[in-house]
Amino acid sequence: MDHLKYAGADAATQRRVLVELIEGDATLMAFLTGLNELGLPDPLLGSGAIYNMVWNALTGRPRHRGIKDADLVYFDPSDRSYEAEDRVIRRAQAYFSESPIPVEVRNQARVHLWFPEKFGLVYPMLNCSADMLLYFATKTHAVAARIERGEIVIFAPFGLDDLFSFRLTPNPVLRNRATHEGKAARSMALWPELRLEPWPD
């Protein structure tokens, strides 16, 4: 199996392939459909559940191998309290209680409130859910999706070539080298086809 067959392909082809892979995964489709049914504002299925599934599909491994959870995010600046977010978390966890992949739910409108204390880094106030992708430690991970008017829409501010090239490219916008390298080590143990790009000096 040629796991790099879409590396270097044009952007439209890579997006089409990603949409087809997501459509072929009943669990990910259930997450996307469920996000809309829950009525969350600006919803996205983000990151690991998508890129790990792609690497599994392209290397012939079980689709959900290595997926710890599914990141379900929304953006609600009208109430940035933990209590409001916790109510949404509990509602989403109940909705997806029978999913084979556990869910992690976050209101991206309040990440800047807790991120500095947890990670020791200043984090900007975001304007929408997709803004989160700009601050991931690894550009390769910056991919998300949702359903709009019946179609899967892909969000990937750095493109998809790193993903399809099995290349872990750093994003030094925040000083989170440890996150980039730590996540890379875990991923490379599961997908040895991956190649780590060094953090820039």
Q: pLDDT band at 47, cuts 50/70/90?
A: confident
pLDDT at residue 201 is higher than 90 = no
User: What is the structure's pLDDT at 99?
Assistant: 97
Q: Supply the pLDDT for residue 128.
A: 99
pLDDT (tens digit per residue) in 10-22: 999 999 999 999 9
For all residues of the chain together, what is the average pLDDT? 97
Instruction: Provide the phi-psi class of 159: left if phi over 0, else alpha when psi is between -120 and 50, else beta.
Output: left
What pLDDT, in 10s, does the model give residues 75-132?
A: 999 999 999 999 999 999 999 999 999 999 999 999 999 999 999 999 999 999 999 9
**pLDDT of 187:** 97
Which two tokens mark 105?
A: 């739910």
Q: How far apart, in Å, do the first and last CA atoms of the chain sit?
A: 36
CA 157/CA 136 separation, integer angstroms? 11
DSSP β-ladder status, 103-107 and 70-74: parallel
Average confidence (pLDDT) over 144-170: 99
Residue 174: what pLDDT?
Answer: 94
Cα 134 from Cα 137, distance rounded (Å): 9
Helices in 96-168 by DSSP H: which ranges? Answer: 111-119, 161-164
Distance of CA 57 to the CA centre of its chain: 16
pLDDT at 155: 99
Strands (E), 86-185: 103-107, 144-148, 151-155, 167-168
Q: 153 is written with which tokens?
A: 């829409």
